[in-house]
Each structure stands twice: as C-alpha cells, then as structure tokens.
C-alpha cells in the first residue's frame, strides 16, 4: 500500500455527507425524525469558522467568497458522495453503519482540488448493527457527563475496536 501526500492549501469549508439524520442536523431541522435515512446521501457544506461555530453555507456563498466555482462545488459533492459510499460498503462488511462523514478539500500547487484531510474516527459516526447506543466514534466522548478514568477507558476501548475493525475492511 502506498500513501501519496501532496502539500495543499486547505479550503475553509468542510462537507458533511449524511446517510442518517442525527446530531446537529436534527437541531437545524427539528421536523425531521432521528434515524431518517437519506437516499441519496445528503451533502451539507459548512464554513470553517470557530468564532461563528462553523455555519452552514450554500453554493452561492462559496462562489461569492471566491473559494470555488460551481463546477468545483459539484465535483466536491460528487467526490464526497463517492468517498462516503465506498466507506459505507466497507463498514457494512463488518456490520457497522456509517452514519455520516466529514471531508475537507484543498488545492495542490497546480490549483487542483483534492480530498486533503485525514479521515479517521473523529471524522465520522459509526453505529455497529445500526444501533446508536453502540456508537464507536467521538460522540461517545462528547456525551460523557463526567470525564473519569473509567469513562475514558471506555472511549479508548471503542477507538481500539475501530482500529481492529479497519484491519478487516
């Protein structure tokens, strides 16, 4: 296996591909029931801006800020869906549901857009057997009421399981 790395200038946007309605999507869309399945995968785009809590942005915003053209935005959405569906099939092979996934893009030295960020256990939601109560992702940490050594060991155990499962994909 070879890993090709290119230096990129990152776009200040992130795409979230959603198969299942949960998390922040439900806060923005209170009329949607948790667990609603999106066919095809829903693609949302957010501006990376900590001060503004990464607000959702739209195609016209991205174009207006000069970040990407309409064609590039369409390409990013298509790549995001392609990456999501590839990982979704892989996770399904070990009976884990890929709920959603965050992807970031950058431009290489020639100005070409690339998927240009790590995809790891902090980039997605994983539900074994489609069961949210068995989640394996960083949401487990976010949900902790108190950070104790025992709770942190539970988080570490879930991350270790994900590492083990990725070896079976």
Q: What's the pLDDT tens digit per position in 33-85?
A: 999 999 999 999 999 999 999 999 999 999 999 999 999 999 999 999 999 99
Cβ neighbour number for residue 77 with a 10 Å cutoff: 17
Per-residue burial over 47-59, b if 16 or more Cβ lie within 10 Å, else e, is beeeeeebeebee
| 26 is a domain residue | yes
Q: Give phi and psi for 125, each to the nearest 5.
A: -115, 130
| Bridge-based pairing state of the strands 9-20 and 113-115 | unpaired
| 143 is a domain residue | no
pLDDT band at 4 (very low <50, low <70, confident <90, very high): confident
Q: Is 49 helix (H, G, I), strand (E, B) or coil?
A: coil
What is the domain count for the chain?
1
Torsion sign, CA atoms 39, 82, 164, 6: negative
Mind listing the pLDDT tens digit for each residue in 140-164? 888 888 899 999 999 999 999 999 9
| 158 is a domain residue | no
CATH no. for residue 89?
Answer: 3.30.470.20
Please, which residues have CB within 8 angstroms of residue 48's CB and are 6 or more apart in sequence?
A: 12, 13, 14, 54, 104
| 28 is a domain residue | yes
| 52 is a domain residue | yes
Q: What is the DSSP letter of 120?
A: S
Residue-number span of the structural domain to which 37 is assigned: 9-130
| 164 is a domain residue | no
| 76 is a domain residue | yes
Mind listing the pLDDT tens digit for each residue in 92-138? 999 999 999 999 999 999 999 999 988 898 999 999 999 999 999 88
| 107 is a domain residue | yes
Check pLDDT > 90 for residue 139.
no
């Amino acid at each position: 296996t070879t890993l090709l790395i290119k230096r990129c200038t990152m776009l200040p946007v992130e795409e979230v591909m959603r198969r299942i309605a949960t998390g922040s999507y439900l806060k923005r869309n209170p009329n949607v029931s948790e667990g609603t399945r999106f066919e095809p995968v829903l693609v949302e785009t957010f501006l990376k801006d900590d001060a503004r809590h990464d607000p959702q942005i739209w195609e016209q915003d991205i174009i207006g800020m000069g970040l990407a053209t309409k064609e590039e935005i369409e390409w990013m959405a298509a790549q995001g869906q392609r990456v999501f569906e590839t990982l979704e099939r892989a996770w399904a092979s070990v009976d884990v549901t890929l709920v959603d996934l965050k992807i970031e893009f950058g431009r290489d030295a020639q100005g070409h857009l690339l998927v240009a960020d790590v995809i790891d256990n902090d980039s997605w939601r994983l539900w074994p057997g489609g069961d949210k109560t068995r989640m394996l992702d960083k949401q487990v940490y976010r949900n902790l009421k108190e950070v104790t050594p025992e709770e942190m060991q539970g988080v570490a155990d879930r991350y270790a399981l994900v590492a083990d499962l990725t070896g079976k994909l």
